[in-house]
Amino acid sequence: MSSETKQILTTDGIPLEVSLKKAEKKNKIKAFLLVAPLLFFLIITYVFPIGDMLFRSVDDKMVTQMLPKTFKAMESWDGQELPEEEVFAAFHEDFIKLVEDKREGKLSTQLNYTKNGFKSIIKKLRRASKKFEEGNYKEQIMSVHKRWADVEYWRAIQRRAPEFTGQKYLKGMDMYVNEEGKIVSVEEDRRIHRVLWLRTLEIAFFVTVFCFLMAYPIAHLLATLPMKYSNLLMICVLLPFWTSLLVRTASWMILLQQQGIVNDFFVGIGLVADDNRPEMMYNKTGSYVAMTQILLPFMVLPLYSVMKTISPSLMRAGKSLGGTPFVAFWKVYFPLTIPGIGAGCLLVFILAIGYYITPALVGGASGTLISNQIAFHMKSTLDWSFASAMGLMLLSGVLVIYWLYNKIVGIDNIKLG
């Protein structure tokens, strides 16, 4: 057919199809060029650095680069008996070089992470190595300390040979690779990270539930009241939303302190004795109360925007068909609000799971979350690779939730106020 019909040409004599395709391509490039500055800016300053975190979290080149000859010599060692003289000689050579560069301290810190007890024997080895004679390094090193003659310590060194390691991720879940190379959990009383993960999930979950329970009635009221009143009440939701997080946390610190207004009120109504005021801050209660109030607007706004679109005649129809108001609500109104509930809950949950400032200020020791641990390792212990690993574990959790959000509501439906 097409070969017989005359091709449609533009005034320039180019076939229309080709010309349209060209225009389409031009438009695509134009649109992309507009997005490009921001896209490349974000890729360079944001997406790559997150990739960098991934790299840092598994990077373990330090020891590999400090003991290159040792690891080369160890390749043929089966790890059963003490290594041969050539391994000791290679280790001696690497070690002398490290002492010259004054880097043996770093080595001892790193090896001590793998197995306790390296710190002192490396110090002893440094002192002794000055008097070492050439040849038979095995005997000489072993005579420095009995641990140098212990095969366990040589196995510990060998475990640091790979350039990459997943041990930071294991540490984040309170696990480690033991001497036999198996993944095991640390002792019961040292499982601090699992406690933190569980607590983060628990607090995020309950804050979401509280927010939902409180937001649903007021979103409904806002959506059904006449514009005049609802606009006024909306300020109660929007003012906290626009107010600084630190200001809101500060006000909770004033309210919840032991001589604070909430406690005064409890004493006033005789709920608690004056000399036995409960501690409501610097624990989980503080985190719960403050986070619920701070995140509440994020639940109200999506619920409100969905409820606003539900026609009141639907409820009336439900009632006129014989349903009691409760049945009409449960069978007609509630199912229609589910998209809003999904959006609000996931938004609050995502925000709560990564919360840092409020728990750090009002949470005390029992109310801090995984974010606080990440910040602690970034600022205090400077174990950046561990902070990166934990950050990425948190991020992957958030991405799963976000993916759900996208499935249920869609990225394009995010509404702000």
Partner 1 sequence: MALPKYTEPHYRIWHYVYLTICGAVFFFLIAPLFVIFPLSFNAEEFLSFSDGMKSLDPDAFSLRWYKDMIYGTKNPWGLAAKNSFIIAIFATIGSVILGTVAALGLSSRHMPYKGLIMAVLISPMIVPLIISGVAIFFFMAKAGLAATHTGIVLAHIILGTPFVVITVTATLSGFDHSVTRAAASLGSDPVNTFMKITLPLILPGVISGGLFAFVTSFDEVVVVLFLAGLENTTIPIQMWTGLREQLSPTILAVATCLIILSTLILVTAELLRRRSERLRGINR
DSSP helix/strand/coil, 175? strand
Residue 22 found at the interface with partner 1 (CB under 8 A): no
Query: Does 214 sit near partner 1 (CB under 8 A)?
Result: yes
Three-state SS string over 267-297 comes to HHCCCCCHHHCCCCCCCHHHHHHHHHHHHHH
Give the shortest CB-302-to-partner 1 separation in angstroms: 14
The verdict on 196 binding partner 1 (CB under 8 A) reads: no
Whole-number minimum distance, CB 340 to partner 1, in Å?
17
- Of the ranges 13-21, 74-82, 90-98, 379-387, which one interacts with partner 1 (CB under 8 A)? 379-387
Helices (H), 187-333: 192-224, 227-242, 245-256, 261-268, 284-307, 312-320, 325-328
CA atoms of 113 and 107, how far apart (whole Å): 10
C-alpha to C-alpha distance for 321 and 295, rounded to whole angstroms = 38
Q: φ and ψ at 101, to 5 degrees?
A: -85, 5
CB of 264 to partner 1, least distance (A): 8
Residues 36-75 that bind partner 1 (CB under 8 A): 36-39, 41-50, 52-53, 56
The DSSP annotation for 137-164 comes to HHHHHHTT-GGGG-HHHHHHHHHT-SSB
Contact 53, 392 (CB under 8 A): yes
Contact 177, 170 (CB under 8 A): yes
* Smallest distance from partner 1 to CB 381, Å: 14
Q: Binder to partner 1 among 31, 271, 338, 400 (CB under 8 A)? A: 31
The least distance separating partner 1 from the CB of residue 5, rounded to whole angstroms, comes to 29
In the complex, minimum distance from the CB of residue 43 to partner 1, in angstroms, rounded to a whole number: 7
Total residues contacting partner 1 by CB under 8 A comes to 91
Segment interacting with partner 1 (CB under 8 A) among 70-78, 182-190, 304-312, 409-417 = 409-417
In the list 14, 18, 22, 27, the residue contacting partner 1 (rule: CB under 8 A) is 27
| CB 91 within 8 Å of CB 158 | no
Q: What does the per-residue mask of binding to partner 1 show for 327-346, with x meaning CB under 8 A? A: --------------------
Contact between 412 and partner 1 per CB under 8 A: yes
Residues 377 and 384: beta-carbon distance below 8 Å: yes
Q: Which stretch binds partner 1 (CB under 8 A): 173-181, 272-280, 301-309, 352-360?
A: 352-360
For partner 1, the closer CB: 109 or 231: 231
CA separation for the pair 311, 303 (Å, rounded): 15
| Residue 202 within binding range of partner 1, rule CB under 8 A | no
Among 172, 286, 297, 340, binds partner 1 (CB under 8 A): 297
Residues 326, 69: Cα–Cα separation, whole Å: 78
**Residue 273 vs 411, nearer CB to partner 1:** 411
DSSP-based three-state secondary structure for 173 = coil
Beta bridge partners of 164: 59
Regarding 260 and contact with partner 1 (CB under 8 A), the answer is yes
DSSP single-letter state for residue 177: E
Interface residue with partner 1, options 98, 218, 328, 409 (CB under 8 A):
218
Minimum CB–partner distance for residue 3 and partner 1 (Å)? 31
When the beta carbons of 143 and 334 are compared against partner 1, the nearer one is 334
- 224 is an interface residue for partner 1 by CB under 8 A: yes
18 or 42, CB closer to partner 1?
Answer: 42
Neighbouring C-alpha atoms within 13 Å toward the C-beta of 100? 7
The distance of closest approach from Cβ of residue 135 to partner 1 in the complex, given in angstroms and rounded to an integer, is 46
Instruction: Report CA-CA distances (Å) from 184 to 325, 374, 390.
Output: 57, 23, 18
- Half-sphere exposure in the Cβ direction for 289 (13 Å, CA): 22
Decide: is 368 part of the binding site for partner 1 (CB under 8 A).
no
Q: Is position 381 an interface residue for partner 1 (rule: CB under 8 A)?
A: no
